[in-house]
Amino acid sequence: MDSLHTYLFVALLLFCIGLFGLLQRRSLIGMLISVELMLNAASINFLAFNRFLGPDPAVGQIMVLFIMGIAAAEAAIALSLILALYRRLRSIDIEKARELRG
Amino acid sequence: MIARDFMLFLPELTYLVAALILFFMCLPQKADHKAIYAVALALAGLGVAGALLGMGQEGHLFFDAYQVDLFSQVFKLILAVAVLLVVGICHGLAGVEDRYHADFFLFLFTCGLGMMLMVSAVELMTLYVALELSSFSLYILVPLRRGDNLDVEAGVKYLFIGITASCVMLFGMSYIFGVSHTTYLAGIMDRLPLIIQQPAAMIGLMLTLSGFFFKLAVFPFHFWAPDVYQGAANQVAAFIATASKAAAVALLIRLTALTGGTSLYFIDVLMVLCVASMTLGNLVAIVQKGIKRMLAYSSVAHAGYVLMGILTMSELGYSAAVFYSMAYMLMNFAAFGVVVMVATSGQNLAISDLAGLHKRSPLLALTLMIALFSLAGIPPTVGFTGKFLVFAGAMQQGYFWLVLVGMINATISLYYYLMVIKAAYLSESPAELPPLVVSMPLRLLNYLLIAAMVYFGVCPGGFLDLAQAAVRGMMGGD
Amino acid sequence: MSFPILSAIMLSPGLGLLAVLFLPRENKRAVRWISLLSAGLSLALTLYAYAVFDTTAKGLQFVERVLWVKSLGIYYFLAVDGISLPLVLLTSIVFFTGVWTMWDLEKRVKEFFALMLLMVLGVYGVFMALDLFFLFVFYDVSLFPMYPLIAIWGSTRKEYGALKLTLYLLAGSALVLPGILYVYFQSGLFSFDLMEIAAAGLPPSVQSLGFLLFLFGFGVLAGLWPFHTWSPVGHVAAPTAVSMIHAGVLMKLGAYGVLRVGMFLCPQGLVEWSPLMATLATVGIVYGALVGLAQTDLKYVIGYSSVSHMGLVSLGLATGTLGGVDGAVFQMFAHGIMTALFFSSVGHIYDRTHTKLIPELGGMAKVMPRASFFFILAALAGIGVPCLASFWAELLVFINGFQVYPALGTAAVLGLVVSALFMLRVVQRTFYGEKNQKYAAAPDMSAVMVIPRALLAGAILLFGLLPRLMLDTIQSGVAPLVELFK
Amino acid sequence: MSPAIAQYIRPEVVAYAAFGFTLVLVFGGALLAVLPKNIIHNVFGLATSLVGVAGLFIFLGSEFLAMMEILIYIGAICIAIVFAIMLSQPMHLQIPKRYRPKLIFSFVVATSLFISFHGIVTRTEWEPALVRGGDWEVARLGRLLLTRYELLFELVSLVLLVAIMGSIITAAALGGDKNPTGDEET
Amino acid sequence: MTAVAPGSTIVWLTLAAMGLPFAAFLAIFFVTRPRLLPSLVISLACSAFSLAVAWWLLIHLRGIDAPLMFQALWMHGGQASIGFGFLLDPLSLVMLAIVTSISFLVQVYSLGYMAGDPGMAKYYSFLSLFAWSMIGLVVASNLMQLYIFWELVGLSSYLLIGFWHQKFSASQAGKKAFVMTRLGDLGFFLGIIVLLLNLGDLSILGLNSQAAAKLSPALLTASAVLVFCGVVGKSAQFPLLTWLPDAMEGPTPVSALLHSATMVAAGVYLVSRLYPMYAASADALAIMLAIGTVTMLLASTMAMVARDIKQVWAYSTVSQLGFMLMGLGAGSYFAGVFHLTTHAAFKALLFLCSGVFIHHFGTNDFFDMSRQGARHLRIPMVCITIAGAALAGVFPLAGFFSKEAVMGSLAELDQGIWLWAGLLGALLTAYYTFRLLFVMWRPLQPLQDKQSNPGHDDHQHSGHSSFGYGVMSAALIVLAGFTIALGFLGDKLIAFLHWQRPPQIPHHTWLLVTAILVVLVGIALAWWEFGRRGAAQEGFLRRFPALETLFARRWYLDDLYRRLTDYVVYGVFSRLCTLNDRRVVDGAIDGVCRGTVGAGWLLSFLQSGLLQYNLFAMVLVIALVGIYFLLL
């Protein structure tokens, strides 16, 4: 609980779970959810380093804050694009969208 | 003091103001396309002027998070020119929904702004956010296309690959933060010699680079490129193919320079990626039917060439990479410019659609030929000189085999470029198509591009010296 | 600095190119005249340079040297010595006659002459530049116009031929560029100046690898066996003047590159690899002649004879002796003129009969005596009849080849008989015997079109009767070079 | 509450229990977010996991961030996702089947990444900074945001602006006038 | 023997004599070809000039005791420097006189023979070219110059043989002549290179005086034999003898000029030129002797069955050349040169006479000619008889003396077999010569209609003018005079050739008698079969069909060569190389290209359109990089 490695392990595991989801979900929204998990993993990392190693406790927190902001923006754009795709294909299954290939 | 800071921030400010103006132009329901175009062109011109004025400025802003040096200013100039060029061929903008012309230009400028901020940023989070700014603008630009259904698909794929890459990058940044306790590049650079042997430092840096590999479309982060080029409007593709590549190169140079070339294993990985990019890009480009898709794969290959300059981690290699990105911007833009001008209704072009181009417009055919020969690295064009410099950089470090592989790849690439030239120069169009009318400014643009491609090919001295000075400042300055 | 005559020679096609580019494409007449004038101008300047060239002085003449890119040590460095001047002369002659030969071209005239002028500009550059960077630039400049030139105006399997030729040759230059960079960095001088690098000398291991790169890189263009297959295919496909320049001049660029870059910079490499080079050359000599025996297309025959003759050049170079290199350079010149004559004659025949298949022709000597005469003269030069230019070259190559490699030299001399057999076979089948009634009315060359061919024939005869006109010049350039191989 | 039990409720035990519970939240939520096919379950899982992460933030000493996490992620992002689901995935649409090789392959890839990175993380000697400050006040965050991270702050707002404009254009208007392929089939 | 620099008069005259024919060639070929008269004038004038100079030199220099040499640097490259100049010594003076005389006479004769041929001007230009190369060869001061003109002689012979090139056989014969002599020249050339590399000097005087001393015996023999290869080719010796009979496809004066008197004699001349060098190598002489003997016998047998008049003389030429080489090989310089001289005269005469018949009757078959009344053409008939008798070695004609000299040298040898072979050759020569003469004189049955001549010489026989006949006859008479007179000049010649110090030549009376007897036997046999009244005019060989076929097919040498070229050169080497070129070399290249495109096609499936597979690749690479960094 008070060791850096625990947090790093947690973050890494979360990252990999997110990655697993990203790679196997067919639903675009599912993929987006997985991405959010991965971003959180990075946040945990930042804060853990901040807590155990960092020179200035504020820096890591600010990083996490910005990651959240970016995540929000990302989610907004992603969702709007997913909806746009849904309008075209009547589906948000990524495997249906394979016009572009070769 | 304020005035000086203002001067330092001039190119970015120009773009910010431009974005603001365009934002207001988005608001009216019915917009005058010609006016929007004229305004955008003027703003892009101002941007170039700003970048030119910014040349030679040196200094730090925002509590050292932002560094203005020759290196960044050179890239800002390249970016500004790229934006100007792209705006230049947006006349009519047949490929974009009518309602969104102003939005199109707005996002073009925010993207340019993001890239400019990116090349000057010397703090990891700033870098990240600037990158996202430019990426998000592009994610929006891609599906703005009129017509077929490919654009949204391309946009979604671009977005997902992009956010995956940015997640990975962020994760890597966290490790860098962990080992170096800071997010400032200067601080990292000070501390890196102590920690470079730490695996977490290397993987962190590698993951951070992957975000820019994605921008540059280096294998295996290239998968978006063909789809996006094909799906996006021609002008957008031109923009992605030129400006965003240059910004990525700048950042790759900045970040790899951090290591000071001390980690050989790091270079090994870059070398593998470089060879894989070149080979895969060139091989797959051979079988492409669509010209934009072909250019996309060729851009993957060119990413490999640029990487070859970067992985040398030497002054010559870096300046070669700078030169190459300029060269690539010019020649790729020339090729895309022709595509835009031939695709009068903004449609996608197959290579066979170029048939009879030499009759329809000899000038465009000539521009295309020179651009393609330049891409293939045939002298006396700028593409050759770029390749030459990159290879020289690699050879200086003794990477003989890398140079050999690069040259073999250049030969392979010649094959598919020749296929396009064949279509443009040899094949007669099946139906008698009307001659293409190229307006006088665009004619001038073509002449200018040809002249520039040949001039920088034959007389690389001036720009090369500039690039070398920039790189030297960048490497020694911190 | 005195009048920069070399730049003037080189830039006269450049001026022509600019002028042609800005002419309207409908004005074919003006395009032709401008091309011919610029060709004539460069020919006149070359003749002047040849006349005032001092054959007793060793070293470079007409030097023009300007620092071009300081940070890399690139110089705009033009000069000629006894090796390059004859080749410049060759280029001028073939270029001039080539333009004249294509006078009747009607299809896309402007583009054709523009590309040709560009190509010749590159060729001049290669022969004059003594800076590795510029040499390579000019080398590629002279290669890539081949693609459109063949693919647009060519004939038999033109697209295949053009593609193959272009890719093949540029693959060759893919070896040259690493070689140049390798040498550049290994010399440690940070200068692309050929003379400086040569003067400083390179370590033996560098010379060994460098020479191999240059040998195979440039050797592809020189038609070195087994990298020759582009040449017949390309020659068959190319239009007349392009074949002339290509077989006549461009193939020499390869041999010149091997000589000027490979042998000059890496003399130890030559010493080390010359058995390999000589073997490949000899195989090429015999092999080219043997394959030539079985061909039915006139241009294929000439193509393979070029392989055979360029093998002689390589053999001469591989000997590394004064006489051998003399002979090789002379052979470059002689073969250039001879092949140009070949192709210009065949071009006429093909234009009039629309066939170049030997079984379909026959008795052409009666139908078009002028064209036939030129072809037969070239054929005689090709089989080494004395008092025609190539005889002396072959003589020198054989003497020195035999001296250095007795077995290979003997085999090469054997190739002479085979080449006699196949040349005469072609002459007999094509020009002698019963004439094919289908082409009996085909018109002969007009008097105007005889002139360029006569110029070439005259050169063959002149230098055949008075070989010292050329050999003295060549020797003044070769003599300092072969000192390196001792 | 019996003393027998009470003797176990020492602060560190409570802390460990709480930490364990947080981890269960994080990973249980994450698995729930990734594995079930039903997208609503996934969102729920995500929310759970994020609550867990917020808990971790508290363990790491930043209550402020924990609060922001709940606010931004659960309050904004998850809600947005739910809206998007409602707009895009009506229940009548079939949930696509999983493709087993893809499942296995993604598992292998993710696992290999995990193993390799885990090795890297454990191999690395993490050294704390020589000088370490101890100011965890939120006020300091605010100050820094307006001074050292001013540019970043402005930038993020610009990014958000772009994102919102983009979302409006893309989601609200795009494709409305286009002829969707799905309609042609129905 | 050291050379003396000649006076300027001699230099300029000789150079002019050498150069003018070439000038004539250029002038006629490039300028006056369309107009006949100026062409003829130029050609004849130049030829006459050379003739005059040659004879003037011969007479003027008849008493010299040291060779005159003039040399200028023609070409130099490396250690090879090649001079251009002339060497005047008795041998070259005599040969020069022979060459210019025959050449001039043939030109005169051709005025009649070629009259009306559309290519007559071209023909004269080629004759001039030939004269130039032959003169250059004869006076060449060094071996390389000699070789150069040697090759030029080959070239002019190619042009002249194939003069009526629209006829397939003519162009074929020209090609054959060129290639086969080229094959021999290969050896010659290598020999020159060996000499050059080992001696550094190719001047003929130098070779003759130093070769024996400076070269090891093996090297000397090797180079001598290599040079002799050239002789084998050019003088049509075994095994390269088959081109010469085919070369009779050319106009008859050409045959007279090239293939009897001058060009083929060049081979013998070369041996004589380098005789001191050859004399130093016993092995080389032995080889020469053997080849000469084999050639002589083979060619004689071929001549016995030929029906084409020119073929008969062609075979006899080959045979006589072999005879000359026998003389030289047996060690007698004089015998070879003497026979060369006399042979030039009578063989030219034989051909020119035959030319008249061919011209007149439009056939080459002498049986046919005879039936058409050949014997009514008196002058040619007489001349051909004289020449034939000289060829057969009938006393006191020229051939008799020179043959006698050769026989004498053969008799000096240790082995008797050479002499017996020589005598057998003499017998056969007498037989086939008189076979022809008897047939000509005694037609079996006169034939009237001329329909049965299957188009030999398809040029227009429009020139049956009396002028033509007169011109031709004049040439014949001059040559007949030589044929009769030359035999008596043997003593003068031997003295001249040996710088006034003639060696003692042993005389064998028994040999004289035997030789005369042998000739008589041959003549008698020919008379019995062809000459006597009521003779069937069928040779005794008719009874041995196998032999007759063997002789008629030239001992199957031609078939051998044809098969060799068809099956080995074309069928195996050329075919294999071509296949290799198409399939292996080109195939490899095309394969690489196809492989590249195929690889691109395969790789393009990476871009499957399925987003997550692309993400797989990304993550996989990252994982691999992680593992790589981990493993460090």
Listed by start position, the domains of chain C span 5-485
Q: Using only C-alpha atoms, what is the Rg of chain C?
A: 21
pLDDT at E143 over 90: no
What mean pLDDT is predicted for residues A54-69?
87
**Cβ <8 Å between E619 and D120:** no
Inter-chain CB proximity E78 and C322 less than 8 Å:
yes
Nearest CA in chain C to E590: C164
**CA of D130, closest CA in chain B: separation in Å?**
10
Question: In the numeric block, which tokens belong to residue E225?
Answer: 């034999």
Q: Do B65 and D175 touch (CB under 8 A)?
A: no
Q: Quick check: E616 and D105 CB within 8 A?
A: yes
The beta-carbon neighbor of C386 closest among E148, E193, E581 is E148
The predicted structure's pLDDT at residue E464: 52
Closest CA to D128 of E149, A60, B249: A60
Name the band, by pLDDT with cuts 50, 70 and 90, for residue D178: very low
- How many Cβ atoms are within 10 Å of B444's Cβ, its own excluded? 12
When scoring B163, B181, B184, B194 by the number of chain D Cβ atoms within 10 A, the one with the most, hence best to mutate, is: B181
Q: How confident is the model at residue B372 (pLDDT cuts 50, 70, 90)?
A: very high
User: What does the pLDDT average to over C377-395?
Assistant: 86
CA–CA distances in Å: residue E230 to residues C21, C419, C422, E341: 58, 18, 21, 21
Distance from CA of B318 to the nearest CA of C (A): 14
Does E622 contact D at CB distance below 8 Å?
yes
Name the least confident of B1-10, C237-246, E255-264, E343-352: B1-10
* Residue range E542-550: mean pLDDT, rounded: 80
**How many whole angstroms separate alpha carbon B476 and alpha carbon B141?**
38
Residue of E551 and D173 predicted with greater confidence: E551
pLDDT at E455: 43
Q: What's the pLDDT score for residue E106?
A: 87
| pLDDT for residue C280 | 92
Q: What is the pLDDT of residue D110?
A: 92
Residue reference for tokens 């990891």: B124
Residue E525 has what pLDDT?
85
pLDDT grade for B331, boundaries at 50, 70 and 90: very high
Q: Do D150 and B125 touch (CB under 8 A)?
A: no
Q: What gap in Å lies between CA C12 and CA C9, rounded to an integer? A: 6
What's the pLDDT at A14? 93
Rounded to a whole number of angstroms, the distance from the CA of D3 to the nearest CA of chain E is: 50
The verdict on E616 touching D (C-beta cutoff 8 Å) is yes
Size of interface B-D (CB pairs under 8 A): 80
Summary mean pLDDT of chain B: 87
The rounded distance, in Å, linking the Cα atoms of B243 and B15 is 14
Partner residue opposite E608 with nearest CB, options A22, A23, A101:
A101
Give tens-digit pLDDT for C263-281: 888 888 888 898 999 999 9
Q: Is the separation of the CB atoms in B59 and B65 below 8 Å?
A: no
pTM: 0.89
pLDDT at C197: 86
Predicted local confidence at residue E497, as pLDDT: 81
Domain count, chain A: 1
Per-residue pLDDT tens digits for B38-66 = 888 899 998 999 888 888 778 888 777 88
pLDDT of residue E79: 73
The conformation of residue D73, written as its DSSP 8-state character, comes to: I
β-pair type (B59-61, E80-88) = unpaired
CA distance B5 to C342: 73
Q: Pick the residue from chain B with its C-alpha nearest to D158.
A: B133
Residue type, E456: H
Confidence of residue B478 (pLDDT cuts 50, 70, 90): very low
B374 band by pLDDT with thresholds 50, 70 and 90: very high
* A and B interact (at least 3 Cβ pairs within 8 A): yes
Which of A30-44, B271-285, D42-56, E400-414 comes out lowest in average pLDDT? E400-414
DSSP string covering B6-40: HHHTHHHHHHHHHHHHHHHHHSSSS--HHHHHHHH
In sequence order, what are the beta bridge partners of E86?
A: E70
D130 half-sphere exposure, CB direction, 13 A CA radius: 1
Q: Which SS3 state, helix, strand or coil, does residue E85 take?
A: strand
Average pLDDT for residues B322-337, to the nearest whole number? 92
- Reply yes or no on whether the pLDDT at E41 is more than 60: yes
Assign A72 to helix, strand or coil: helix
- Reading the block at residue B338, the tokens are 């022709």
Higher pLDDT, D178 or E622: E622
Which residue's structure tokens are 């992460």? D53
- C167, B388: Cβ pair inside 8 Å? no
The pLDDT of residue D173 is 59
Quote the minimal CA–CA distance from C328 to chain E in Å: 11
pLDDT of residue E447: 52
Contact residues on chain D for E622, CB-CB shorter than 8 A: 113
CA diameter of chain C: 69
| Interchain contact C174–E (C-beta under 8 A) | no
Question: Is the Cβ–Cβ distance between B391 and B406 less than 8 Å?
Answer: yes
- D160 and B135 Cβ atoms separated by less than 8 Å: no
Question: Would the CB atoms of C178 and B391 count as touching at under 8 Å?
Answer: yes
pLDDT at res. B452? 92
Question: Which residue of chain B is at minimal alpha-carbon distance from D162?
Answer: B137
Provide the pLDDT for residue B299. Answer: 92
Whether E608 contacts chain A with CB within 8 A: yes
Q: What is the CATH number of the domain that holds D148?
A: 1.20.120
Distance CA C179, CA C133 (A): 11
Residue in chain B lying closest to D130 (CA): B181
Which pLDDT tens digit goes with each residue over C166-184?
888 888 888 898 999 888 8
CB-nearest partner of D163 from A48, A77, A88: A77
- Give the whole-angstrom CA distance, residue A94 versus residue A26: 6
CB contact, 8 Å: B293 with chain A?
yes
E182 touching chain C per CB within 8 A: yes
E619–A102 C-beta distance less than 8 A: no
Residue spans per domain, chain B: 2-474
In this prediction, residue E453 has a pLDDT band, given cuts at 50, 70 and 90, of very low
Summarised one tens digit per residue, pLDDT across range E198-209 is 887 788 888 888
CA distance A51 to chain B (A): 10
Given an 8 Å threshold on Cβ–Cβ distance, is A44 in contact with D53? yes
Categorize the per-residue pLDDT at D174 as very low, low, confident or very high, splitting at 50, 70 and 90. Answer: low
CA distance D2 to chain A (A): 27
Nearest CA in chain E to B226: E607
- How do residues E66-103 score in pLDDT, each as one tens digit? 888 888 888 887 777 888 888 888 888 888 888 898 88
The pairing of strands B59-61 and E68-77 is unpaired
Q: What is the structure's pLDDT at D103?
A: 87
* Residue D27 CB partners (closer than 8 Å, separation 6+): A13, A14, A17, D49, D52
Of D102, D109, D123, the CB nearest to E620: D109
Axis-axis angle for helices E168-199, E217-234 (nearest 10): 160
What is the predicted pLDDT for the residue at C345? 87
Mutate to test the interface with D, among A4, A9, A23 (most CBs of D within 10 A): A23
pLDDT > 70? residue B477: no
Enclosing domain of residue D44:
3-92+137-175
Share of chain B above pLDDT 90, in %: 33
Give yes or no for residue E569 having a pLDDT over 70: yes
pLDDT interval class at E454 (50, 70, 90):
very low
Q: Indicate left, alpha or beta for C433 from its phi (over 0: left) and psi (-120 to 50: alpha).
A: left
Neighbours of chain A (3+ CB pairs under 8 A): B, D, E
Give the closest-approach CA distance of C255 to chain E in angstroms.
19
List beta partners, residue E77: E80
Give pLDDT tens digits for B280-312: 999 999 998 889 899 999 999 999 999 999 988
Domains contained in chain D, number: 1
The Cα–Cα gap between C356 and C349 comes to: 7
Q: What is the mean pLDDT of residues B181-210?
A: 86
Whole-number pLDDT of residue E410: 83
CB atoms within 10 A of CB D125: 10
Summarize pLDDT for E313-340 with one digit per residue, the tens.
Answer: 888 888 888 888 888 888 888 888 888 8
Residue E593 with chain C: CB contacts under 8 Å: 167
Given a contact cutoff of 8 angstroms between Cβ atoms, the answer to whether A23 and D110 are in contact is yes
Inform me whether the pLDDT recorded for E534 exceeds 80: no
pLDDT band, very low/low/confident/very high, at E457 (cuts 50, 70, 90): very low
Give dist(CA B100, CA C293) in Å, integer. Answer: 70
pLDDT given at position E166: 79
